[in-house]
Amino acid sequence: MPAPRDRQFPANFIWGAASSAFQTEGSLDVDGRGPSIWDVFPRERIHDGTDASVAADSYRRYGDDVALLADAGLKAYRFSISWSRIVPDGSGAVNEAGLDYYARLVDALLARGVAPYATLFHWDLPQALQERGGWTNRETAERFAAYADLVTQRLGDRLKHFVVLNEAAVHAALGHVTGMHAPGLTDAGVLGPVIHHQNLAQGLAIQALRAAESDLIVGTTMALMPSRAEGGVLSWFNEQAANGFDEVWNGAFLDPLFRGTYPSVPQGMVESVLRDGDMETIRQPVGFLGVNYYAPSYMRFNLFAPSFIEPAPAPSGTERDAFDRHVDPSGLYETLLRVRDQYGNPPVIITENGCSDPFSDGPAVIEDQFRIDYLRQHLEAVKSAMEGGCDIGGYFHWTLVDNWEWAEGYRSKFGLVAHNRETGVRTEKASYRWFSELARSGALDGAV
Ligand code: GCO
C-alpha cells in the first residue's frame, strides 16, 4: 500500500460517526416497541450475560449524542431505525410513537447542522417476522420494502440519506450459520435464501424509496474484507477456499447490486429461491456504496469442515486488536481499489471503521492512544485510495458512544465517548478530541 502523498482531506469530505438502534437506544419496552430477534436471543449466549435494555441510553439521551456530534464538528450521524419500533409486528399497524422518536432525533440533528443518515435494517428483525421464517421467507423482503416506504413517506421530507441494509453478509452468516448472532440458527442450508432475500429486500426498498421522494441519496452498506489464503504446503487448496469464501462474503452482495449476477458459489446456493426478474430488481443504481471495514480474513482448506472451508489464523507476528482481529489497513486499501476496478468506481462512504478497547467488564479506557493510532493508519489507507482515484466522500467512525456489542455485551467498547450506565455520564476519550480536530481541519496529523 503506498503512503499518501499528502495528509489533507478535501473540505467537502464528510466526517461522521455511526451507531445502530439495538446497540444504542435501550428503552426496549417503551412507547409501543415490538420485540425483535435480539430481544429473544438467549442471554446465556451473550458473553457477559447482559442485555441491551440500557445500552447507550440514547432513546432517552439522544440530545446528549447530538450535542457530542455537533460539538466535535461532525457533519453527519449514521444511526439505524428499529423496524419494530415503527411496525411492532413487522407488518400491519404503525406505531406513531416510534416514528415520533426518529422525527425528534432527525430534527435535533438538523438543528445542529448534522446530516442524518438512517440505516433501515441493522439486524434487529421484528420477532413476529422471524416466526414466519424471517429472511428464509421471501415475504420478509416485501414487508421490508413496505416499511422502507412508510419511513420515507413520513420522514423523507427531512431525512435525505439512507443506508438500506447493514452488513447482510454478517447477518446471514453469524445469524443463520454459526448461531453467534440472532436469530441464532445453525443451518448452512438457509444461507442462500437468507442472502438472496436480503438482496431482494434491498432492491425493492431502493425502488420504493426512489419512488417516494426523488431527492433522496440512497446507499447500502456491506462488510467488505479481503479473503486471504493461508500459505504453506496446502496453499493451492487454501487459495480455492479463500476464493470460495470471497464469493459468498463479498461477491454475493457486490455482484448482484452492481452487475445483476451472482458469482458461481452463491449462485448454486440461491437457485432454489431465485425467481425470474429478481436480478433486475436487485441491480439498482445507488447514491453510494457504504464500506464497513475492520480487518481482512484468512481462510484455509479443511477436508473435514463444512464446504471444506475454515478460518485460518492471521500470519504470526501481525498486530491484533481486542477481537483478535488482525490490524491491517492495507486490507481497506485493497478493498477500495477492488470496488474501483471491478465495480465501476461508484461513490463510496466508509460507513464504519474503528477498534475496541481490550475486552473488560470494567470502565472504558479514556486515554485511548491505541484507537487514535488505529484510526490514523486506516485514514492513511483511505487517503491513499483517494489519491489512486477512488471516489470516497466520507468516513464515519464506529462508534460515537460505547454501546452494547451484540454477543460480546458490554465488554467490548468502540466509542469515542465512554458511558457510565449507572449515572448516565458520558466522558469524552482522547480519541474524541483527536477525531474532532481532524473533522474541523481535515488534516491528518503525524508523519507519513
Ligand atoms: C457492524 C456492526 C456493528 C459492530 C461493529 C463492531 O455493522 O459491523 O454493525 O454493529 O458493533 O462492527 O464490531
Cβ(321) – ligand 1 distance below 6 Å: no
Give the 3-state DSSP-derived string for 158-174, with helices as H, strands as E and coil as C. CCCEEEEEECHHHHHHH
CA distance 234 to 87: 51
Q: Ligand 1 centroid vs 262 CA: distance in angstroms?
A: 25
Ligand 1: residue of 38, 79, 80, 167 to mutate (most ligand atoms within 8 A of CB) is 167
Q: Ligand 1 centroid vs 224 CA: distance in angstroms?
A: 12
Of ligand 1's atoms, which has the minimum distance to the CA of residue 414?
6
> Tens digits of per-residue pLDDT, 115-133?
999 999 999 999 999 999 9
Partners of residue 297 on adjacent β-strands: 227
Is residue 399 reached through a cis peptide bond, with omega within 30 degrees of 0 on the bond before it? yes
Partners of residue 350 on adjacent β-strands: 291, 395
- Nearest CA-CA partner of 337 in 327, 328, 348, 326: 348
Cβ(19) – ligand 1 distance below 6 Å: no
Give the DSSP H or E segment for 192. helix 191-212
| Distance between first and last Cα of the chain | 12
Contact predicate 104/31, CB 8 Å: no
DSSP string, 342-393: HTT---EEEEE---PPPS-SSPPPSS-HHHHHHHHHHHHHHHHHHHTT--EE
Which is catalytic among the residues 352, 380, 405, 408?
A: 352
Cβ(405) – ligand 1 distance below 6 Å: yes
Cβ(292) – ligand 1 distance below 6 Å: yes
Q: Ligand 1 centroid vs 294 CA: distance in angstroms?
A: 9
Active site (annotated) includes residue 271: no
- Nearest CA-CA partner of 125 in 67, 151, 86, 74: 86
Cβ(27) – ligand 1 distance below 6 Å: no
Cβ(398) – ligand 1 distance below 6 Å: yes
- For the chain, domains (ranges, CATH) are 14-446 (3.20.20.80)
Cβ(20) – ligand 1 distance below 6 Å: yes
> Tens digits of per-residue pLDDT, 419-428?
999 999 999 9
Kindly state the cell numbers that stand for 428: 469524552
Among protein residues, the one with the nearest Cα to ligand 1's atom 1 is 167
Contact predicate 68/54, CB 8 Å: no
Which is catalytic among the residues 167, 239, 405, 408?
A: 167
Q: pTM for the complete prediction?
A: 0.97
Cβ(41) – ligand 1 distance below 6 Å: no
Cβ(64) – ligand 1 distance below 6 Å: no
Of ligand 1's atoms, which has the minimum distance to the CA of residue 405?
11
Contact predicate 444/7, CB 8 Å: yes
| Helix axes 369-387 and 329-342, enclosed angle (nearest 10) | 30
Ligand 1: residue of 47, 224, 352, 400 to mutate (most ligand atoms within 8 A of CB) is 352
Which phi and psi (to 5°) does residue 404 adopt?
-100, 115
Is residue 311 reached through a cis peptide bond, with omega within 30 degrees of 0 on the bond before it? no
List Cβ neighbours of 38 (8 Å cut-off, separation of 6 or more): 22, 52, 123, 124, 182, 406
Which phi and psi (to 5°) does residue 397 adopt?
-75, 135
Q: Ligand 1 centroid vs 285 CA: distance in angstroms?
A: 25
Contact predicate 395/383, CB 8 Å: no
Would you call 52 exposed, middle or buried from its count of C-beta atoms within 10 A (0-12, 13-18, 19+)? buried
Compute how many other C-beta atoms are within 10 angstroms of the C-beta atom of residue 286. 18
Active site (annotated) includes residue 319: no
CA distance 162 to 216: 7
Cβ(221) – ligand 1 distance below 6 Å: no
Q: Ligand 1 centroid vs 304 CA: distance in angstroms?
A: 30
Q: Ligand 1 centroid vs 58 CA: distance in angstroms?
A: 17
- Nearest CA-CA partner of 159 in 81, 68, 63: 81
Of ligand 1's atoms, which has the minimum distance to the CA of residue 221?
7
Q: Helices H, strands E: what count in the chain?
A: 16, 13
Cβ(352) – ligand 1 distance below 6 Å: yes
Of ligand 1's atoms, which has the minimum distance to the CA of residue 408?
13
Q: What is the pLDDT along the chain (448 residues), one digit of tens a residue?
A: 999 999 999 999 999 999 999 999 999 999 999 999 999 999 999 999 999 999 999 999 999 999 999 999 999 999 999 999 999 999 999 999 999 999 999 999 999 999 999 999 999 999 999 999 999 999 999 999 999 999 999 999 999 999 999 999 999 999 999 999 999 999 999 999 999 999 999 999 999 999 998 899 999 999 999 999 999 899 999 999 999 999 999 999 999 999 999 999 999 999 999 999 999 999 999 999 999 999 999 999 999 987 889 999 888 888 888 777 789 999 999 999 999 999 999 999 999 999 999 999 999 999 999 999 999 999 999 999 999 999 999 999 999 999 999 999 999 999 999 999 999 999 999 999 999 999 999 999 865 4
